[in-house]
Amino acid sequence: MRTEFHDTLESLVTDLAEMCDRASAMMRSATTALLDADLAQAEHLRVALAELSALGTGVHDRAYHLLALQAPVARDLRTVVSALHIGADADRMGALASHVARTAVRRFPERAVPDEVADLFTEMGSTAVQLAADARDAVADRDAALAERICAGDERMDELHRQLFVRVVGPRWRHGPMGAADVVLLGRFHERFADHAVEIARRVYFQATGAQLGAQPVGL
């Protein structure tokens, strides 16, 4: 019975790492769709999001099954409880990447981001992709040190978000209020994506150490 329990626990960790990996790949595709007006990449994300959500449902169901029937304690309990939160965060990351891609579809055949901010979205996209990939590794290895580094890495995304606002409200902005609204919302999607990756890292840290990094729950 305990062997089956630990096998199921390991499968949860494997699937959670896979969810983070898929979220990273989705943001990579969304960034390509956004910057290159690549409709094929954007359309691909609809299927990818459904697959990610299905994986998350499986994680959710198995975690509750373990809580109900195995009564885990100590680190095992932390792993199961963390799995519920990590799965939800990774699923939300996929949804945010999908929102980015939908903006690209809505503006097609034009590119959704003007030249004035393309460099920022290039870096925001690559930063988001890397944070999700690091979250994958932290989950897979239960790596508390990497989890701490992910939390620190979120500062770059925050700085890029601030730079985006400066450009949108600056005198060189020539794309009107609707263009500004699209850009600000896209920036928000990237910021939230990064915040969920950081929340996953905080869950990994808690799982590994039993201590909190002082996070507040991430909003939608």
pLDDT digits (tens, 9 = 90+) for 198-210: 999 999 999 888 8
> Mind listing the pLDDT tens digit of every residue in the chain (220 residues)?
567 777 888 999 999 999 999 999 999 999 999 999 888 888 889 899 999 999 999 999 999 888 887 767 778 888 888 999 999 999 999 999 999 999 988 888 888 899 999 999 999 999 999 999 999 999 999 999 999 999 887 889 999 999 999 999 888 888 888 888 889 999 999 999 999 999 999 999 998 888 887 544 454 5
Other Cβ atoms within 10 Å of 61 Cβ, number: 10
Phi and psi at 120, nearest 5°, equal: -65, -40
Domain covering 2-209, topology: Methane Monooxygenase Hydroxylase; Chain G, domain 1 (1.20.58)
Torsion, Cα of 165, 167, 172, 175 (10° steps):
-60
Q: Are 101 and 193 in contact (CB under 8 A)?
A: no
Cβ-based burial of 169 (10 A; exposed 0-12, middle 13-18, buried ≥19):
exposed
Please report the pLDDT score of residue 214 as a whole number.
58
Please report the pLDDT score of residue 215 as a whole number.
47
Q: Where are the domains of the chain?
A: 2-209
Please report the pLDDT score of residue 78 as a whole number.
86
Determine the distance from the C-alpha atom of residue 90 to the mean position of all C-alpha atoms in its chain, rounded to a whole number.
5
| Residue 93 Cα distances to 19, 96, 114, 175, angstroms | 9, 5, 24, 28
Please report the pLDDT score of residue 218 as a whole number.
52
Q: Are 189 and 95 in contact (CB under 8 A)?
A: no
